[in-house]
Structure 1
Amino acid sequence: MIRSIIVAGLCLCGLCALPSRVRAQDAERDSVYTYVSGSDTLHYTYTPLAPEPPRRKPFLQRVVDYFGGSTVDRTFEKKIDFTFAGGPSYSKNTSLGIGLLAAGLYRVDRTDSVSSPSDVSIFANVSVTGFYALGISGNTIFSKNRSRLNYTLAFSSAPRSLWGIGYHAGRDNRETSYTEKRYQIETRYVHRILPNTYLGVMLGFEHTKGRGFDALGESYIEGQKHSYTATGIGLIAEYDSRDFIPNPFRGIYVSLEQTSYPQALGNCGKTIWRTTFTADAYRKIWKGAILAADLYGVFNSKGTPWPMLARMGGSQRMRGYYQGRYTDNCLLTAQVEVRQRIWRRIGCTFWGGAGNVFASLHDFDWAETLPNYGIGLRWELKKRVNVRLDYGFGKKTSGFLLNINEAF
């Protein structure tokens, strides 16, 4: 009897030291152990404690962690690296609204570490004025940067203001309104023929329909149709040494694009011609600061329908002007901008510029040049992909803009 008590005590206190004498049988959650020594047998059950569940982080901390990892370049390990964001939006044209955005970076060739990554942006927006828009745009960089594909697909429906055609109409006429629905598809493919030098083609389609014109609006469009459809075919010559298209830190970009809108591929009543010229330059001026300069011109042929005319203003050039108040065949703008990183993902910018609309080069008048300047705040959504909030000023006008990627 004494020997049995001693054996049982040894089993309970020192079993871990005698693993060769123990047989285990697994149950669903418990383990049943049997100890045998001579004629004595001891059975006991061991129930492990359940592990503590991991603590769920607070919502705000999870949001911070999500965007904290979004600035890391994962394009070498993922097919496409998306970051999603949403919130209030505002512009002078569309007023207050809610926007959703998906920004993605990817590499067609993930073994190519020389070329910059490709980018894509998917956006949706709806505002209190009845405006809504849906679209996708991006730049695809093929292996070794031998060729590029740029694309934009967008649909929008928006209440718009109208002042007429020409500088004096925008300055003096009374405002009227209508509703505009626009479908736009544009693709540009260029192939490298020399270092940083590309030749390519452009294909585009646009359909614009205006509704709700009053008598004043009818007079402003000068008896033209309410709806126009056009298909464009163009040739492109470019020099591009930018290090990253959505947000360059260095390099030069010069582009000349000649587009034809054949009469047979639309309802414009004649063949329309358009020449577009862009010249941009970027360089570092001090720690965390980039100086960016932009010269831009659009020259349409005589008789271009009212919805295809050059419109001053918007989110890229002459920020702060209502896009379309100053409208004519031709547009010429220039701007210089300083972009400064402040702290981590936060940056700021300030810019100054000028623009002019005119019927033809013969009608260009320096006295009709409009000023533009402003300040902006930047927040890095993904690595070198910024969400920007700008406030622009012009002649008797100003306004906020919230958008993705740099203006140019």
Structure 2
Amino acid sequence: MKYRCLHPPCCAAVRAVMLLMVMSVARVGARGAVADAGDSIAVPAVAPATAEAPSPTSDFKVDSLPLFNRLPPKVKNYLNGFMAGSVDRTREKRVDLSFGISPSYTREASFGIGALCTGLYRVDRTDSVGIPSDLFACLNASLNGFFVFTFKGNNIFPGNRLRLGYKFEAYRKRLDFWGINSEETAVNPKSKYDRRQIDLRTELVYKLTHHLHAGFHTNFDYTDARRMSNPEYLLGGRRQYYVTGLGASLSIDSRNSILQPTRGVHLSYTYMFYPRQLGSAPASFQSHLIIGNAYLGLWRGATLAFDLYAKFNSSHTPWSMREMIASDGIRMRGYYMGSYIDNSQMSLQAELRQHIWWRIGMTAWLGQAAVFSSFRNLSKKEIRPEWLPNGGIGLRFEFKHGVNARIDYGIGRHTAGFVFAVGEAF
């Protein structure tokens, strides 16, 4: 559907305002919308805030506004391309890149500034059916000493049967800390520590049949806790760990697109084993991850998305690899990272995504999650884990083909907060 502007001067002004808003608030970096092992380790690019409507285009030029008349030609060309709409140019360019610099904000990091680069490309540019490969890089730093660098993406090989996913992340965060299990975080006073972490994940996924996929996974993680106000909160554990894991996955994927799912399902199971010989953990440990996503097209421009996440870690898992509520910017948005932590986690959420106008959309979601020490605790009434509520609303702006900037405001139990990120939550 093409959107016809009935009042060109008014719409041009509104679009210029939206341009300035997105360039000033789009978060570049942190952990927003980072995929988990077993999920697609991809740039979290999603549908352009609309379930079925094609990407809007426009003949609006920034030259028509006096505010932009004296800008350098290269800057005006960039802004004209930005305002012209979202178009897949991967068959025209070797790599379709976009760059940005903007302020950022999270509850953990406070205010900061960052730079990002997103790209789409095709290994086989003559392929008229397959989806493009993607990459994403960002660098972010904040006033309280927060620093993060992320590089991730998917490489789709010719034939669309083999995919290499990867994610590298290095960060330093000054975080509040309450302990390493549910019992401790419920009673311990707040303390602080510096968390320094390097994490590398890869997955090689092969399409067995039309919807069935098998994958091989690797994970290396190094975590160092420094300047701890209360080191006894680690319950005798070390402050520093490095671990290496190998695993396999099996998934059923009928989504109409990895980057822009508006219908279909994605069910995956991933098993990871971390041998003691390949790290500094005192014993070998393992994890089981189950992820389920479903996408339903409703009325025009609307998608109802569901997300199930369940990860169960063995009892010897070091504190650095345990599950934390709100650690990824995907689930339990609005909670503080690490305010709830334990061996395992289960979460559910449903989100309605609605295209509003032009390249603007809105979302609303409800969800809940719980962390607990073991799967057996779920059936024991006296130690049954506490389920935490979550809900919120969000604003979307599509600034590149299939890539949304999002501003989410999440509310939880005695907490609330904003999440600024690139890409949908799931």
TM, length-normalised to structure 1:
0.83
Distance in 2 of aligned mates of 1:57 and 1:66: 16
Q: 2:419 aligns with which of 380, 401, 406?
A: 401
The one-letter code sitting in structure 2 at the alignment partner of 1:382 is: K
Which position in structure 1 is the counterpart of 2:140?
A: 125
Contiguous gaps of at least 5 residues in structure 2: 1-65
The one-letter code sitting in structure 1 at the alignment partner of 2:292 is: A
Which position in structure 1 is the counterpart of 2:367?
A: 353
Distance in 1 of aligned mates of 2:422 and 2:159: 26
Which position in structure 1 is the counterpart of 2:408?
A: 390
Distance in 2 of aligned mates of 1:80 and 1:70: 18
What is the CA-CA distance between 1:69 and the residue it aligns to? 4.2
Distance in 2 of aligned mates of 1:169 and 1:377: 36
Return 136-145 or 310-319, whichever deviates more: 136-145
Q: Which has the higher contact order (CA 8 A, sep 6+)?
A: 2
Q: 1:205 aligns with which of 209, 220, 229?
A: 220
1:191 aligns with 2:206: yes
The one-letter code sitting in structure 1 at the alignment partner of 2:391 is: Y
What is the CA-CA distance between 1:88 and the residue it aligns to? 1.1
Which position in structure 1 is the counterpart of 2:81?
A: 66
Distance in 1 of aligned mates of 2:111 and 2:278: 37
Which position in structure 2 is the counterpart of 1:95?
A: 110
Change in CA separation of 1:256 and 1:233 when aligned onto 2, cut-off 3 Å: same
Return 166-175 or 148-157, whichever deviates more: 166-175
What is the CA-CA distance between 1:108 and the residue it aligns to? 1.4
The one-letter code sitting in structure 2 at the alignment partner of 1:399 is: G
- Does the residue aligned with 1:374 lie in a helix, a strand or coil? strand
Query: In percent, how many aligned pairs have the same letter?
Result: 39
TM, length-normalised to structure 2:
0.80
Distance in 1 of aligned mates of 2:281 and 2:85: 46
What is the CA-CA distance between 1:234 and the residue it aligns to? 0.4
- Does the residue aligned with 1:119 lie in a helix, a strand or coil? strand
Structure number, greater radius of gyration: 1
The one-letter code sitting in structure 2 at the alignment partner of 1:405 is: G
What is the CA-CA distance between 1:118 and the residue it aligns to? 1.6
Contiguous gaps of at least 5 residues in structure 1: 1-54
The one-letter code sitting in structure 2 at the alignment partner of 1:270 is: A
Between structures 1 and 2, the one with greater strand share: 1
The one-letter code sitting in structure 1 at the alignment partner of 2:350 is: V
Q: Would the aligned equivalents of 2:324 and 2:342 in 1 still touch at CA under 8 Å? A: yes
Aligned residues: 352
Distance in 2 of aligned mates of 1:148 and 1:282: 22
Q: Would the aligned equivalents of 1:142 and 1:148 in 2 still touch at CA under 8 Å? A: yes
1:332 aligns with 2:350: no
Q: Would the aligned equivalents of 1:167 and 1:368 in 2 still touch at CA under 8 Å? A: no
What is the CA-CA distance between 1:142 and the residue it aligns to? 2.1
1:362 aligns with 2:376: yes
Q: Would the aligned equivalents of 1:246 and 1:405 in 2 still touch at CA under 8 Å? A: no
Q: Deviations over 1:325-372 (max 9, x none)?
A: 110000000000011111111111110000000001111266610000
1:112-191 aligned at under 5 Å gives the runs 112-191=127-206
Return 163-172 or 357-366, whichever deviates more: 163-172
